Amino acid sequence: MTFMSIPDRVLLAGLGIVLSVVFYVALMVGPVNIGIGKAVMDFLAEESSMDSLILFDIRLPRALLAMIIGATLGLAGAALQGLLRNPLAEPGIIGVSNSAAFGAVLVFYFGYSNFAWFALPLGGLLGALASVVIIFALVGNSKSVVTLILAGVAINAIGGALIALALNFAPNPYAMQEIVFWLLGSVANRSMNELLIALPFVLVGWGLILYCGRFLNALTLGEETAISMGFEVRRLRWILVIGVAACVGASVSVAGNIGFIGLVVPHLIRPFVGSEPRRLLLASTLGGAILLLVADIAVQLLSSGGELKLGVITSLVGGPFFLFLILKTRNLML
Amino acid sequence: MSLLKGINLGYQIDDISILKAIDIEVKAGEMVGLIGPNGAGKSTLLRLLTCVEKPGWGEIFYGDNNVDQISVEERAKHIGYLVQGAKAYWPFSVEKTVGLGRIPHQKWWQHSSREDQEKIQRAMEITETLAYRNRIVSTLSGGEQTLVMLARIFATDPQIIFADEPVAALDPYHQLHVMEILRNHSRDDRAAVVVLHDLSLAARFCDRLYIINHGCLYGSGAPDEIMTAENIAEVYGVKARITCDAEGVSVAPVSRLGEHHP
Can you give the pLDDT at residue A164?
87
Answer whether residue A178 shows pLDDT above 80.
no
Q: Taking the domains of chain B in order of start, what are their residue ranges?
A: 2-231
Please calculate the CA angle B186-B43-B123 and round it to the nearest 5 degrees: 35
- Can you give the three-state secondary structure of A64-116, one letter per residue? HHHHHHHHHHHHHHHHHHHHHCCCCCCCCCCCHHHHHHHHHHHHHHCCHHHCC
Distance (Å, rounded) from C-alpha A280 to C-alpha A291?
Answer: 15
Can you give the pLDDT at residue B161?
98
Which residues of chain B are within 8 Å of residue A276 when distances are taken between CB atoms?
A: 90, 92, 96
Answer whether residue A269 shows pLDDT above 50.
yes
Task: Check if the beta carbon of residue A58 is closer than 8 Å to that of residue A50.
Answer: no
Distance (Å, rounded) from C-alpha B26 to C-alpha B61?
Answer: 10
Tens digits of residue pLDDT in B146-171: 999 999 999 999 999 999 999 988 99
Answer whether residue A173 shows pLDDT above 80.
no
Distance (Å, rounded) from C-alpha B85 to C-alpha B77?
Answer: 22
Answer whether residue B211 shows pLDDT above 90.
yes
Share of chain B above pLDDT 70, in %: 98
- pTM of the prediction? 0.91
CB neighbour class for A302 (10 Å; exposed up to 12, middle 13-18, buried from 19)? exposed
Answer whether residue B259 shows pLDDT above 90.
no
Which residues of chain B are within 8 Å of residue A230 when distances are taken between CB atoms?
A: 72-73, 75-77, 103-104
Whether the CB of B42 is below 8 Å from some CB of chain A: the reply is: no
For range A33-39, the mean pLDDT = 86
Distance (Å, rounded) from C-alpha B70 to C-alpha B68?
Answer: 6
Whether the CB of B90 is below 8 Å from some CB of chain A: the reply is: yes
Residue type, B1: M
Can you give the pLDDT at residue A2?
41
Answer whether residue A334 shows pLDDT above 70.
no
Answer whether residue A333 shows pLDDT above 60.
no
Winning range, highest mean pLDDT, from A122-136, A151-165, A183-197, B143-157: B143-157
Question: Crossing angle of helices A60-84/A233-255, nearest 10°?
Answer: 150
Whether the CB of B163 is below 8 Å from some CB of chain A: the reply is: no
Interface size between A and B, measured as CB pairs under 8 A? 83
Q: Which of B223-227's residues contact partners 24+ apart within 8 Å by CB, and which partners?
A: B223/B33, B223/B248, B223/B249, B224/B249, B227/B199, B227/B202, B227/B203, B227/B251
At residue A3 the predicted structure's pLDDT band, cuts being 50, 70 and 90, is very low
Across chain A, what does the average pLDDT equal? 88
B88 vs A8, A214, A220: nearest CB: A220
Tens digits of residue pLDDT in B38-55: 999 999 999 999 999 999
Please calculate the CA angle B164-B142-B137 and round it to the nearest 5 degrees: 100
Whether the CB of B106 is below 8 Å from some CB of chain A: the reply is: yes
Can you give the pLDDT at residue B140?
94
B50 vs A218, A221, A228: nearest CB: A228
At residue A110 the predicted structure's pLDDT band, cuts being 50, 70 and 90, is confident
Whether the CB of B257 is below 8 Å from some CB of chain A: the reply is: no
Q: Pick the more confident residue, A111 or B104.
A: B104
Distance (Å, rounded) from C-alpha A27 to C-alpha A307?
Answer: 19
Distance (Å, rounded) from C-alpha A226 to C-alpha A236?
Answer: 11
Answer whether residue A142 shows pLDDT above 70.
no
Phi, psi of B21 (to 5 degrees): 45, 55
**3-class secondary-structure state, position B30:** coil
Site from B87, B100, B148, B153 to mutate, A interface, most A CB atoms within 10 angstroms: B100
Q: Taking the domains of chain A in order of start, what are their residue ranges?
A: 66-333
Phi, psi of B18 (to 5 degrees): -95, -40
CB neighbour class for A85 (10 Å; exposed up to 12, middle 13-18, buried from 19)? middle
Distance (Å, rounded) from C-alpha B209 to C-alpha B224?
Answer: 10
Cα of B149 to nearest chain A Cα, Å: 9
**3-class secondary-structure state, position A302:** helix
Q: Under CATH, which number does the domain A66-333 receive?
A: 1.10.3470.10
Contact A277 B92 (CB under 8 A): no
Tens digits of residue pLDDT in B46-87: 999 999 999 999 999 999 999 999 999 999 999 999 999 899
Pick the CATH number of B2-231 from 3.30.70.20, 3.40.50.300, 3.30.420.10, 3.40.630.30: 3.40.50.300
Measured in whole angstroms, the distance separating CA A166 from the mean position of its chain's CA atoms is: 23
Can you give the pLDDT at residue A305?
64
Rg (alpha carbons) of chain B, rounded to whole number = 19
Q: Which of B17-24's residues contact partners 24+ apart within 8 Å by CB, and which partners?
A: B17/B215, B18/B44, B18/B215, B19/B44, B19/B45, B19/B48, B19/B55, B19/B215, B19/B216, B20/B215, B20/B216, B21/B57, B21/B58, B21/B216, B21/B217, B22/B58, B22/B212, B22/B216, B22/B217, B23/B217, B24/B49, B24/B210, B24/B217, B24/B220
Across chain B, what does the average pLDDT equal? 93
Residue A89 CB contacts under 8 Å (≥ 6 apart), including other chains: A77, A80, A81, A83, A148
Whether the CB of B81 is below 8 Å from some CB of chain A: the reply is: yes
Can you give the pLDDT at residue A304?
66
Can you give the pLDDT at residue A189?
84
Cα of A21 to nearest chain B Cα, Å: 29
Half-sphere exposure of A147 (CA within 13 A, CB side): 13
Distance (Å, rounded) from C-alpha B82 to C-alpha B161?
Answer: 8
- Can you give the three-state secondary structure of B204-254, one letter per residue? HHCCEEEEEECCEEEEEECHHHHCCHHHHHHHHCEEEEEEEECCEEEEEEE
Tens digits of residue pLDDT in A59-72: 999 999 999 999 99
Which residues of chain A are within 8 Å of residue B81 when distances are taken between CB atoms?
A: 224-225, 228
Rg (alpha carbons) of chain A, rounded to whole number = 20
Contact A220 B100 (CB under 8 A): yes
Distance (Å, rounded) from C-alpha A241 to C-alpha B128?
Answer: 39
- ipTM of predicted assembly, 2 dp: 0.93
Beta bridge partners of B209: B33, B221
What stretches of chain B show up as alpha helix (H) in DSSP?
Answer: 42-49, 72-78, 94-99, 114-126, 142-156, 172-185, 199-205, 223-226, 229-236
Contact A228 B92 (CB under 8 A): no
Please calculate the CA angle A312-A249-A114 and round it to the nearest 5 degrees: 105
At residue B112 the predicted structure's pLDDT band, cuts being 50, 70 and 90, is confident
**3-class secondary-structure state, position B170:** coil
Answer whether residue A1 shows pLDDT above 50.
no
Contact B51 A274 (CB under 8 A): no
For range A194-214, the mean pLDDT = 95
Q: Which of A32, A56, A166 is nearest to A111 (CA)?
A: A166
Q: Pick the more confident residue, A294 or A86.
A: A294
Residue type, A313: I
Distance (Å, rounded) from C-alpha B228 to C-alpha B223?
Answer: 9
Distance (Å, rounded) from C-alpha A98 to C-alpha A93?
Answer: 9
Can you give the pLDDT at residue B36?
95
Can you give the pLDDT at residue A331?
61
Contact B89 A220 (CB under 8 A): yes
Distance (Å, rounded) from C-alpha B78 to C-alpha A226?
Answer: 14
Q: Which of A81, A92, A94 is nearest to A261 (CA)?
A: A92
